[in-house]
Amino acid sequence: MILDTFALHGRVALVTGSTRGLGQGAAVALAEAGADVALLDRGDASATAERVRATGRRAHLLRRDLVSAGPEELAGAVDETVAELGGLDILVNNAGTIRRTPAAEHSAADWDDVLSVNLDAVFHLSQAAGRHMIANGYGRIINVASMLSFQGGILVPGYTASKHAVVGLTKAFANEWAAAGVTVNAIAPGYMATDNTAPLRADEDRAASILARIPAGRWGDASDLQGAFVFLASSAASYVTGAVIPVDGGWLVR
């Protein structure tokens, strides 16, 4: 039955940035589809773990700060997931940060912090997870891109650069690993009601201009992405790789 191909029973996922928002939504959705979930965050993801366990699945907390975590520490997080949950089949690189300053004033520290979380961690976690997945002949890596993977944005040069690069990494890994049974795709959320967009939503003029351009007529939320996460994590998407799927209420086609 076709619905069976969307099930994730017996799978293990690792989700970054999982305390709230899109990462929490992804973790809960994967658990509801049958996966056990490791939750990597610099904050306390206990609330997400409780929601995962409420589905009958296992959860494991990984406390890591992606601003400072290097390749060995991130490889260690993958190894810990395998040891605690019995494997690793799905990696969701969701964690992200943003700094809003004019390009002429964008500090080196802001640039480094944004690239560390949004790009370096994606590369190192994907590389470590990919080695394990290749050895097992199966894997799903899902990166969280952005509308600013396609556009330039305003006041966010570091974020824009990182999200363009995430799409490039998605395609590069997809090319190399497809034959090994590992797919690598990205989801590009539109304007979501999350902490990252709180300053935009607090600016009445900017919020109104954004909303006016969204054909769906509303900001998105974490639940709008859950179906895409489950699809790309499942066997139903076994012939989908290197794709960037916008979930944006029609923003890009306006």
The span from the CA of 141 to the CA of 128, in Å, is 11
Amino acid at 253: V
Q: Pick from 200, 125, 122: which is nearest to 164 by CA?
A: 122
Residue type, 64: R
Q: Is 159 a known active-site residue?
A: yes
- In this structure, are residues 230 and 8 in contact, taking their beta carbons and an 8 Å threshold? yes
Q: Which helix (H) or strand (E) holds 104?
A: none
SS3 content of the chain, % helix, strand, coil (to 5): 55, 15, 30
C-alpha distances in Å from residue 200, one per residue of 149, 160, 197: 18, 16, 5
Residues 6+ apart with CB under 8 A from 87: 12, 132, 136
Alpha-carbon gap, residue 151 to 252, rounded angstroms: 9
* Spatial separation of the C-alpha atoms in residues 124 and 106, rounded to whole Å: 25
Active site residues: 159
